[in-house]
Amino acid sequence: MIELDIMGVRVEVPSSAPMLLLKESAGHRYLPIWIGAAEASSIVNALEGIVPPRPMTHDLMADLLSQLGLVDVEGRITSVVDGTFFAELIVDGRTISARPSDVVALALRAGFKVTCTPELMDQVGVELFEPAEDEVEKFREFLDHVTPDDFEH
């Protein structure tokens, strides 16, 4: 299994559809998953540390896991069929079918890892351009020292 980092939620232009962006922890590929607005809101709230006055569904689920003493928990994104992603929540050896967005929203609250199969990453993983840190640093240095005279013909 490939461990994933939760990078956040982005909005795709022009459709304004929310997209969950996951990245392989030990690699460069990303796993983009289009999700619903309510799920996106739940994930963003958890990422930003927003605690609602009353528990929302994912908060309730995390509290249930904790109160019941269920500590061996993992989320797995397993496949994609006709553009629909499938996931599983593994709780103390029991496998429960779930949506990837619910797995991620719960993982952010309960602190368990999210993984995907190598086959899924090979099938739909994408590499996004990330400027190398040294390139960014060189550009910042350039900006610190550039003057209008440098652009004269």
> What's the CATH number where 96 sits?
3.10.690.10
Q: Rounded CA gap, 39 and 42, in Å?
A: 5
- pTM, to two decimals: 0.81
Whether the per-residue pLDDT at 26 is higher than 60: the answer is yes
Band (80; pLDDT cuts 50, 70, 90): very high
Report how many domains make up the chain.
1
Structural domain boundaries, residue 94: 2-151
Helical H segments across 68-150, by residue range: 100-110, 118-124, 133-145
pLDDT on residue 151: 52
Whether the per-residue pLDDT at 149 is higher than 70: the answer is no
